Structure 1
Amino acid sequence: MEKNFCFRTYLLQWFLPAALLSCGLFLPARAEDKPALPVIAEPVFKKDTFNIVSYGAKGDGLFLNSQNINRAIADCSSKGGGVVLVPQGLWLTGPIELKSNVNLHVQRDAILLFTKDFSQYKLVEGNWEGQPAVRNQSPISGANLENIAITGSGIIDGGGDAWRMVKKDKLTESQWKRLVASGGMVSEDKKTWYPSESAFKGSKTKNAGVIAPGKTLADYAEIKDFLRPNLLVLTNCKKVLLEGVTFQNSPAWCLHPLMCEDLTLRNIYAKNPWYAQNGDGVDVESCKNVLIENSTFDVGDDGICIKSGRDEAGRKRGMPTENVIVRNNVVYHAHGGFVIGSEMSGGARNIHVYDCSFIGTDIGLRFKTTRGRGGVVEDIYINRINMSEIAGEAILFDMYYAAVDPVPLAGEKREAPKTITYPVTEATPQFRNFYIRDIACNGASKAVFVRGLPEMNIKNIAFENMTIQAKKGIECIEANGISFKNVHIASGDVNPVITLQNSSNITFSQLTYPEKTALLFTVTGEKSAGIKVNSTDVSGAAKVYNIAEGAKTSAIKISK
């Protein structure tokens, strides 16, 4: 019965005027207007079983089983499909290529261990961070397939520690000394370890790996070690199931479905060291009809991430990630629990996230982009999210994304970007029509941060029923049509509770805040207007609002 979740009830409980934003400019979609949640088709397989042992595989951790496993997969597919069984054992292997109608089943007491011999991974034309790029072949890959799966309860280990560069600031002194003693080389500033000179050289190469006209794969050989593969890449595949397996220690991203349709991730565990650079859990890129449920992520970068290509290449592809359900998942360490962007140039829409928990992530709900991306992210429905010990923002929208860690390292200083207005073009990204409700967060640096572009504000975001304990409250910059209903900001010393800069049509209803607050609102910027506060007791603040930096007193209206 759980699988046949009553989506009608779920939809109807949302957003009847979870915010009839009193500005009158934005009416949230009615339940009957919202697109129906997708029905995700799952693969079905014949019961025929092909044991890799029958193809000469040896589970002793020494024998290289690449050819044996690939023969079993090819044989299974050619005979109409079935199950390729990886039984008990430690199975050392090079790259594995999946085939249609094959379920690669890894038993509980089996470890599929990918070799650290880089020569086993040929350079191929692939995709990296939303752009066509040369990469090393992924440990597991498949393209233009249908009816495929990886199931079981065993472990798939990508051998990623042999590939990754590591920042000194992310290790203890003893860990750093052991790493340096293991080989490789250290950067000139002594702050980053590289596994080889080739990897170091690649780090100094502009647009390393990006496919350039007139170049062949051989032209990238000298920086081969830098072109880390994602552990699993599935491209343009239909009816895909990943279930039960632990995917760990990936060289770069852990799981990367690209342009796939009818994709199910269920009961998986994606695990990477917390310092793993680009060590994302799952990056769903330009996919349609996706279910991610009952899974756990504990990784070095974003946990569950939605993407759709980068800049012009993503816009040219023009394939949004759409019709997505993310439910009943837990994310431990990650840069973000649930994330959209920053490579979202093809757009994202009709995404439903509910009943998830984020524990110790840098940011909870993270939506990021930057100028040049283009693309529209819209119709995002988020409900019943629990968070604790969030290092940065509980909820973040930022259109000034820079490729740095979301939380500054000790001693690191960052300046806010300068506000410059640019013309709106196809390269201007958009975030709009988000509905976020029933959020509980115990511990964050900041409750909510919304930062749009002056030429393209973040628009039409409805927050409802949120209790967030944070050191800082809510900040909106270049935002339009934002509502906060029944929001409680809990902290000992938040001053001011709300900061609004060049933001318009902002509504607060049933806002509660800490006792003896010194200042409730700060409003700045000449574009700030239409700020309305109602059904809120403002008497608990020593000062209700401060108007500065070009804002007008008429920008904010307090009513009972």
Structure 2
Amino acid sequence: MMRFSSLLPGALLALAAWQANPSAAQSGRPAPSQPAPLTLPAVRQVRFKADTFNIQKYGAVADGQTLNTQAFHKAIMACTQAGGGTVLVPAGLWLTGPIVLQNNVNLHLATGALVQFTADHLQYPLVKTTWEGEEAIRSQAPISGVGLVNIAITGNGTFDGAGDSWRPVKKSKLNEGEWKKLLATGGVLNEKKDSWYPSASSLKGNMLAAAGTPRKSLDPTAFDDIRDFLRPNMLSLTDCKQILLEGFTIQNSPAWTIHPLLCQDITVRRVTARNPWYGQNTDAIDVESCRNGVLDDCVFSVGDDGLCIKSGRDEEGRKRGVPTENFLIQNCKVYSAHGGFVIGSEMSGGVRNMVVRNCTFQGTDVGLRFKTARGRGGMVENIWVDGITMTDIAGQAILFDMYYAAKDPVPQPGESTAPPVIAAQPLNEGTPQFQHFYIKNVVCKGAETGILVRGLPEMSIKDISLENVVIESQKGMVCQEAENIRLRNVTLLTKETRPVLEVQNSKNISLDGIRYTSGADLLLRVSGDRSQDIRLTNTNTKLAKKGLELGDKVGKKVVQVAAK
């Protein structure tokens, strides 16, 4: 087997930049011109008056027992009415209900400050908001702001959302001791005894949703009997401009942790988000239908996706029609999460102009995760990724999936692992599109599958460039229903070697300078009667026992091999 360590320097130092001609060995085909890297607009920054409003002066008590909701409200209102400034939360344990931000307020948590949100769900009124990209009734977020300008949350303190009192837990995600400890806290089980719910109200709401009969009303009074099911996102900012989130830790969220929606000019810097790895729906940050922002030097370890980009779901998202665009995401670390950097699956308003660089994913289920499904619609395009390091990825290191089935990316015990059977359907407004992804300088040590590209028969995934990539994984690459895919200087060190590369019903696929495990049983298999123009160049096919295998309906001229 080729040594992983010996390939790392070459992969990282092969600085053939984006603008380099990528196709000198494409059998005389002219290379398509590659666009220049994105120039993103500047992000407008916050600015505050020097005045400080200490919550203690408004009656707050740091005893962990006194409910300080009104003290937070009075301090924030005094600050905004005075023209803005800083609302100071000193060191101490501050129990509170929901905090509502206001214009020109910087909520600052001093070092040693712990803001503990109450587990009394009656303190969180049912409100009209959104859930996973659609209008919904949910419990009010622990921290929220609507229609604000020039707001910030800063400091080195911590927010705790009491999420354990809201979230259901699957038995399969805990060991026996953890499960017994959870049962001792109370709550109820479902009929199968394989899922725990914090209350009968939570169980009832989850069962309605699982049966496909969720309540569609937008009248809060229609939901009192399932209040505990309506878990809030922890930090919810809607239609706000000039936002700074910096320095703090936010943890134990009931659902999504940080959720800016329809916001503009967002800076998120040195924020830590922590949730249990088994915590359902506890994404670290979901940037939805937002414009212009920077996410820098953050650390996330959560129970769902890490750095996640969204833009609404299905018909409602398309009707809203607001893409997430113009974001720089850099220097971030993601540990436990379903995905490191993720787009979708709620991306019906579109996503464009993303630059992701110098990020590390360790122990996530998927590394780079781009997901959608029929019915979403929307266009995802112009995504630039440069400098990603990954270790111990449980699923795919790099995943493009237009057939997202809303399941955990790593199957739970007893779940089927068989790939879905995909039949073509007519094109319509709900047909999603992925195109123009440029990914380079990626190193992954340990994954189940290196690269999975899975489009739809009626809509291929298009125009993906993967360059200077080294992946050590169980399986290599699977490419289904794709078009204009280019791998250049890609190394796949796989344990399963029949085949290393699999291409199905795809066309215009360039595999240039592929390195792989010496002694592989089969390097490349091409199948599907719609496969066309597959090129394998600058690759030593003699290292494999068999270089090429064609499916029954694949003609010999479909694949061109120009070995070095």
TM-score by length of 2: 0.94
AA aligned opposite 1:154: G
CA distance in 2: counterparts of 1:366 and 1:29, whole angstroms: 23
What is the letter of the counterpart of residue 367 of structure 1? F
Query: After superposition, where does 1:203-352 map in structure 2 within 5 Å?
Result: 203-206=206-209, 211-212=216-217, 216-352=219-355
Partner of 1:380 in structure 2? 383
Residues 133, 210 of structure 1: 8 Å contact kept:
no
Cα offset, 1:510, TM superposition: 0.8
- Paired AA for residue 302 in structure 2: V
Cα distance in 1 for partners of 2:24, 2:39 equals 22
CA distance in 2, matches of 1:141, 1:21: 55
In the TM superposition, what whole-angstrom CA distance separates every residue of 1:93-131 from its partner, at most 9, and x where no partner exists? 000000010000001101000000001000000000000
Whether 1:16 and 2:30 are equivalent positions in the alignment is no
| 2:34 matches 1:29 | yes
Distance 2:56 2:213 in 1: 40
> For this pair of structures, how many residues does the alignment match?
546
Amino acid at match of 2:20: L
User: Counterparts in 2 of 1:48-127, with a 5 A limit?
Assistant: 48-127=51-130
Distance 1:476 1:291 in 2: 32
Q: Which runs of 4+ in 1 moved over 6 A?
A: none
**CA distance in 2: counterparts of 1:268 and 1:126, whole angstroms:** 25
Aligned to 1:137: 140
Q: Partners of 2:105 and 2:208 in 1: how far apart?
A: 39
Distance 1:495 1:142, change over 3 A: same
Question: SS of the counterpart of 2:547?
Answer: strand
What is the rounded CA distance, in whole Å, between the counterparts of 1:415 and 1:337 in structure 2?
A: 24
- SS of the equivalent of 1:391 reads strand
Q: Displacement of 1:455 after TM fit?
A: 0.3
Contact 2:492–2:515 (CA under 8 A) maintained in structure 1 = yes
Q: Is the 8 A contact 2:468 2:489 kept in 1?
A: yes
The answer to whether the 8 Å contact 1:28/1:433 transfers is: no
1:64–1:25: structure 2 CA closer, same or farther, 3 Å change rule?
farther
CA separation of 1:256 and 1:208: change in aligned 2, threshold 3 A: farther
Say whether the 8 Å CA contact 2:18–2:34 is kept in structure 1: no
Q: CA shift at 1:209, angstroms?
A: 6.3
- Greater displacement, 19-28 / 387-396: 19-28
2:75 aligned counterpart, secondary structure: helix
Q: Contact 1:91–1:113 (CA<8 Å) still a contact in 2?
A: yes
Identity among equivalent pairs (%): 50
Give the aligned residue type for 1:346: G
- What is the CA–CA distance in structure 2 between the aligned matches of 1:25 and 1:306, rounded to whole Å? 34
* 1:404 CA displacement: 1.0
- 1:28 deviation in Å? 5.0
Tell me, in whole angstroms, the C-alpha distance in 2 between the residues paired with 1:549 and 1:250: 52
1:357 to 333, 339, 360: 360
What letter matches 1:552 in structure 2?
G
**For the structure 1 residues 524 and 492, does the alpha-carbon distance in structure 2 shift closer, same or farther, using more than 3 Å as the test?**
same
Q: CA deviation at 1:491?
A: 3.0
Matched residues in 2 for 1:61 and 1:271: separation? 21
- Which amino acid counterpart does residue 63 of structure 2 have in structure 1? D
Q: CA deviation at 1:493?
A: 3.9
Cα offset, 1:210, TM superposition: 5.8
* Cα deviation, residue 26, structure 1: 7.6
Query: Scaled by the length of structure 1, what TM-score is found?
Result: 0.95
Describe the shift of the 1:28–1:329 C-alpha distance in structure 2 as closer, same or farther (beyond 3 A).
farther
- 1: distance between equivalents of 2:534 and 2:519? 23
Deviation at 1:25, TM superposition (A): 8.9
Instruction: Give the match's secondary structure for 1:313.
Output: helix
1:452 to 2:455 alignment: yes
List alignment gaps of at least 5 residues for structure 1: 1-10
| Matched AA of 2:106 | N
Tell me the alpha carbon deviations over residues 227-284 of structure 1, each in whole angstroms, 9 at most, x when there is no partner.
Answer: 1001000000000000000010000000000010000100000100000000100000
Partners of 2:458 and 2:496 in 1: how far apart? 34
Partner Cα separation in structure 2 for residue 193 and residue 66 of structure 1? 30
**Displacement of 1:12 after TM fit?**
11
